Amino acid sequence: MTEKELLNQGYRKYSGKAIDVYFNLDICQHSGNCTRGNREVFNVKRKPWIVVDNAEANEVERVIKNCPSGALQYIMKVNVDK
């Protein structure tokens, strides 16, 4: 999806240097995979609850791929070594 499509669907954007993260609370199933996956990036006790640059872009991508609902999406902005 493009950023425009995500924002139109109600996703909120959290910007990072190399990767942008998008979250849609209406879709979230509260599985906790994200907060368990990386508490430095995803921490519901903090505002903002997502701080993208607290981990490498590849790590943020890894955690988002474990989101079961699609509530978390990302757009990689630069090529990063895998």
**Residues in contact with ligand SF4, shown as a per-residue x/- string from 8 to 47 under the rule CB under 6 A:** --------------------xxxxxxx-------------
- At residue 36, the 3 state secondary structure works out as helix
Comparing CB distances to ligand SF4, the nearer of 1 and 81 is 1
Closest CA relative to residue 25, chosen from 6, 38, 11:
11
Q: Does residue 71 bind ligand SF4 (CB under 6 A)?
A: yes
Catalogue the E-assigned strands of the chain. Answer: 12-14, 19-23, 72-76
* Alpha-carbon gap, residue 11 to 6, rounded angstroms: 5
Comparing CB distances to ligand SF4, the nearer of 26 and 81 is 26
Site residues, ligand SF4 (CB under 6 A): 28-34, 67-69, 71-72
